[in-house]
Structure 1
């Protein structure tokens, strides 16, 4: 396990975690996180990449206006524990997808992911003025589905046998949250 503690600018700050931009110096650490087997399973990651490909991916993301890729770090130690992204940002329809990965088991189930999601939802609905944020979660990850529902996401449907992983097909749950649902859940009034 490779953990890197760095002092980087904090884009979004919570009580226990903060979200910061990813940069070229993070390529080695991001590469290590990509190969944690249980995290790969929970995120349905099939693709393998070299460190050079990861570096190019990070560079491309910094130029991509349709996504926001951030690292999740602990407030107390600056240790990076995962990543989170708004992706496929559609400025006409004001929608985006959201995804998250907490890389190591010792950081999972601690509420860090929930706090990171709240920070990025606030950014998406508040700063980017999105109307809809959606996600997908696999039926074999009920813990994540439960957290998403606690956050205010609504189940929209099931994509049957949409993921092939470890010699089996799995269903994918689609969920979303609308801006008015977000404001009602978190007590935020419109201006």
Structure 2
């Protein structure tokens, strides 16, 4: 099964993706833009991580694929809470030259459609480090996500402290956004 957007497809990660995932997992500049802490990752650790994904119903990770470029990044729905119908969402476009071309916006829309229309979730959340202005603009300017709070000085990066923005979107936000988009057509 795959989840189709207009230019992108979200699909299961496969063993054939390991080399590209390994390169991205060790890209210091890429990880500086993402949350969490990251250590250098071996090929074996990457293989073990991929092997654990197949049976994890609470943490779904997808490859972002285009017909032109193949695998360009990853997206996820993690910490899925089936009782409260919520999940955390994240994504990354691994190739720097493909960022800023609308793929991220399409991934967000495709993930929301899948989460809200297919899985029946009611809310998604994400976090963004304050200096990642491109991601912040994509989620809040081109998608219906709202900054719901800021955790001051959450991250230590580049020798200083940075805030973490907490963002959220509800199924109702998504449906209103889709209706407005359909009305503009």
Q: What stretches of structure 2 of length at least 5 have no aligned partner?
A: 181-185
Normalising to structure 2: TM-score of the pair? Answer: 0.91
- 1:182 counterpart = 2:174: yes
Structure 1 outlier segments of 4+, above 4 Å:
none
Match of 1:146 in 2: 137
1:128-147 matches, cutoff 5 A: 128-147=119-138
Normalising to structure 1: TM-score of the pair? Answer: 0.88
Aligned residues: 178
Q: Cα distance, 1:157 vs. partner?
A: 0.5
Match of 1:105 in 2: 96
Q: What stretches of structure 1 of length at least 5 have no aligned partner?
A: 1-9
Residue 54 of structure 2: SS of its match in structure 1? helix
1:47 and 1:170 map into 2 onto residues whose CA distance is: 19
- 1:27 counterpart = 2:18: yes
1:11-160 matches, cutoff 5 A: 11-44=2-35, 45-77=37-69, 79-149=70-140, 150-160=142-152
Q: CA RMSD in A?
A: 1.5
The more displaced of 44-53 and 87-96 is 44-53
CA deviation string 1:126-173 (max 9, x = no partner): 111111100000110111111101210011000111111222211000
Residue 33 of structure 2: SS of its match in structure 1? helix
- 1:133–1:88 Cα change, 3 Å: same
Residue 186 of structure 1: SS of its match in structure 2? helix
